[in-house]
Each structure stands twice: as C-alpha cells, then as structure tokens.
Amino acid sequence: MKRQYDVIIVGCGVAGCFTALHLPKDRDILMITKSDLEESDSFLAQGGICVLKNDEDYDSFYEDTMRAGHYENRPESVDIMIRSSREVINELIQFGVDFARENGELVYTREGAHSTNRILYHDDVTGKEITSKLLAEVKTRENITIMTQTAMVDILCRENCCDGILVKTKAGELQPVFAQHVMWACGGIGGIYENSTNFPHLTGDALALSLRHNVRLQNVNYVQIHPTTLYSKKKERRFLISESVRGEGAHLYDKNGNRFVDELLPRDILTQEIRKQMKKDGTDYVWLSMLPIQDMDVRVRFPNIYRKCLEEGYDVTKEWIPVVPAQHYFMGGVYVDRNSHTSMKHLYASGETCCNGVHGANRLASNSLLESLVFAKNAAFHMAKVDEEDKKKPHKPRFEDYVNLSIKELAKVYQLFLEEYDNLEEFYKNNKEKIWEEIRREQEKQK
C-alpha cells in the first residue's frame, strides 16, 4: 500500500466496485475492506434488483417507491434511480451477471409493496451473483489495488476538505493514505444491533467519523426491520428469509395456524403486524409456510434458503418455519447529493452508508442494489469531471506538503488523536455509542 492514490474506496461491495469500474482506467485506485472480500452485505442480498420494465411502468415504479417511503423520499433521486435502471442492468449483464431467464427472456418476480413484477433475480442469491461478478472484473484491472483486513479509523481532513484516510493495517500499523477523492462505501449499521441480518463488522464507521468531523447526516433514526428472519436462540447474524418467498405466495400464520396478515404489505407495516401478533400470542416468533407455493419447486427457486433451513432442522417442503423481525437496512446515513458527494469537499458516499433520499422513511424491496449501483456510477463520473476541471487551473496538489510527513507530524496537521486507535475494540465501542446517541437524539426530535 502506497502513501498516495488518485481515489480511495472504503468498502468492496457493489457500491465500491461499481465506483471503481466507472473511474477512468488511468486513475490509481485503492480499495480497502476491514474484513474479507466476501463479507459485505451486498453478498447477502437475496431477493433481487428492480428495473424499469418499460416506459409504461415508470409511474407505478415511482409511486411504489414513494408510497413505501411514506413520501419522505427525495423525488429527484427516485427519478434518477428509475431512469438509470435499465442501463445499469445491461451493464451487469455485460459483466456476466446471470439473471433468471425463460426461453431466453428475463424473468421478473414481485415482492411486497410492488404493484407489478419488476424484479430480476438469480435464484435466491442475487447479491452474491452481482457482487462476485463485479469483484471478478475489479480484479482484472491493473489500476486497482485491493487491501483486505485493513480498517479506516479516521479521515485526513482540514477546512472541510478530505485529503485521504488513516488506516490500521492487518499488521496493526497506522498508515496515512492520501488521495484526490475518497469514497465511503462501507455499509450500514447492523453491527451496533444485537439482532441483525448484517455482518457484525458493519458498525457505521462513516457515521461516527461524520459526527466527529461535522459531515452532514440525514435520517439516522430511519432503520428498517426485516419482518421475516429465521428464528434462532443462537446469538449470531440472523438469516434472512427473502421477501421474494412471500412474493411467490408463502403465508404467515399465528400460533394457532391462522393467517393474520397480508404478506405483501410494506416491510415496516408488516413488521408492526408481526410484532403485534407475537405480543398477542405470547410467542417469540410467528410461522411462515412455503407450502402454499404450488406452481414452482421452492428447492429450485430458493436453493440457499432451502439448504439453510435444512441445516437448522426445517424442511420447507414439508413444514412451517419460525420467523421473527430483525434489523436489516439503514435508510439514513451520510447526506449526499445526486452525485453522491457529501458536505465535505472531495468526500463521497454510496450504498447503505449514505442517504441520497431514494428510500425515504422505508425502503421498497429490491431497490437497494439498484440505488447503490446508480449513485456509485454517478460518483465516479463526478470525480472524473472534478479532475478535468482541476487540470484547467494549474496548482500544486492541496496535500503535497504533507504526504511525506511522519505520523506524529500529520497528527498535528489533521488534529488526530493517535492513542485512540491503540485499542480498536474500545474504539469501535465508542463509535457505536456516538451513533446510538445520535439516533436517540433524532428520535426525540420527531416526538
């Protein structure tokens, strides 16, 4: 890892990969992840990815997204996402993403709160299919360096301008890395919850740093709970039972085997109904049955879910499974504009880390992968545009005088408190507390 790159991307999920793949090939790019490449939430997305099927679908796609978000969405962002969707899907297919087809034609499925079938999928591991194909392409690019087990602990910023990041390497060393642009694509906040479908290392690092450096945040209390995750007494990441299962016809039952709700309600409303039923029944879960799905083999349509449930002792072709709501997705985050640019110069954010307003107060199913890709691409184009404009104004790089300074000298320039990073466990614990304080503060404001 060098001391200076053109662009640093924190995170290797779909947002990070799509940013890297849309930057000019002469840019020197560093991508880092504090875990392994396969441990981004992008890999976990089961259901699918939305797309505008045709011009006639625009109004209903827009309305479905707005209604699910309780009309707190940013209209411009919703419009950009929908109108960009087909182009993004075509790019994914060019990268080798294998969406389900029938007689050579793409197959569309439906999930809760959608008024029609407009979701493309690959079995029940769509996120894994997309992310793995994008990562494979990233690995072929000679201008992209990937570092795993490398954690961003701070950003190098002054006068509301980001000059790079401070990382802690796998060997435990602190190292400053400078860049013209920094992209935060480091995921959500599931790791601060006890029950979540997210990987536990996704602890809202960008949010904590935003609070420290006065980067604008938005809607940090807007957290989506997924209504159906496989119930377990084990304290581990909750396994998500995709909304597509209910979209294909699965039913929810109370403890007496009675169907108690419309399974295709928006996630937040369905979660409320499930919790209400659990309280009424005095149970820790409700039942989900795939037996009503008659026109397809669920072992073929949902192979990953089928295998996981078997491992837990449930055969979904013969019996019901216990499900419970769990933290799933973060609609708020670092405020960004249509180009994924934050309130700090040369700092961008994309994916679940950011809030561009697409999701409003509640995300419509299968909009997350699409939103991440669309706005990551916008960010890459904006960075390139900024670079071209900078070339017209000859000046030395803004951080040229600092690149070769020692870590202690840099600590004075960027007001870093190096002792904070000695114990990463304590560091992340403090970050979690900061985020929870902000969530509670926002909740109080809305009362």
Task: Report, as residue numbers or ranges, the catalytic residues.
Answer: 267
Amino acid of residue 420: E
The helix/strand count (H/E) of the chain reads as 12, 18
| Backbone dihedral region for residue 71 (phi beyond 0: left; psi -120 to 50: alpha; all else: beta) | left
Residue with tokens 């419970």: 324
3-state helix, strand, coil in the chain (%, to 5): 40, 20, 40
Residue with tokens 């005088």: 401
Give which of 341, 335, 438 is closest to 380, Cα–Cα. 341
Give which of 139, 162, 181 is closest to 23, Cα–Cα. 181
Asked if 254 and 277 touch (Cβ cutoff 8 Å), the reply is: yes
CA distance 409 to 417: 12
CA distance 135 to 248: 30
Q: Positive or negative CA dihedral for 151, 229, 98, 356? A: negative
325-216-405 Cα angle (round to 5)? 115
CA distance 81 to 247: 23
Parallel/antiparallel/unpaired status of strands 174-184 and 347-349? parallel
What 3-state class would DSSP assign to 289? strand
